[in-house]
């Protein structure tokens, strides 16, 4: 919102004096505003990358999967940490027994235990 008042302010980015048309203006130019915005985005990305580097395992999901006797392909992938195609490869080669009910493939948990000799 522009007004007739002129306020002398200091730019947050380059620390130079300028005449502001509003009381909330922080930057002397679009260049300083853009530079500050890019710095904020860069800092946010760095902090997000640090969070992503830490291993996060949802223990509630894993505990829920461990309680079931029959698991879907997605649950097997989550439980043992292999790709979906690897699970299908184990089924096709006969290393992992499964049952197909309708369009859904179910794998008994005992078959996974015998696959890994747990």
Domains and CATH numbers, the chain: 7-53 (no CATH), 59-115 (3.90.105)
Q: What is the pLDDT of residue 113?
A: 87
Q: Which residues of 7-33 are buried (b: 16+ CB within 10 A; e: fewer)?
A: eebebebeeeebebeeeeeebbeeebb
pLDDT tier for residue 53 given thresholds of 50, 70 and 90: low
SS percent in the chain: helix, strand, coil, step 5:
50, 15, 35
44 has pLDDT over 70? yes
Give the pLDDT confidence score for residue 54 in this predicted structure: 53
Per-residue pLDDT band at 70 (split at 50, 70, 90):
very high
The pTM (predicted TM-score) of the whole model is 0.49
């Amino acid at each position: 919102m522009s007004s007739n008042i002129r306020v002398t302010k200091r730019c947050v980015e380059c620390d130079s004096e300028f005449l502001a048309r509003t009381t909330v203006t922080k930057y002397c130019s679009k260049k300083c505003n853009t530079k500050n915005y890019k710095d904020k985005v860069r800092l946010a990305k760095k902090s997000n990358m640090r969070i992503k580097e830490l291993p996060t395992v949802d223990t509630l999901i894993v505990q829920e999967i461990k309680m079931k006797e029959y698991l879907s392909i997605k649950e097997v992938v989550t439980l043992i940490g292999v790709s979906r195609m690897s699970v299908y490869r184990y089924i096709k080669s006969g290393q992992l027994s499964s049952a197909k009910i309708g369009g859904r493939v179910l794998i008994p948990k005992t078959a996974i235990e015998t696959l890994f000799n747990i």
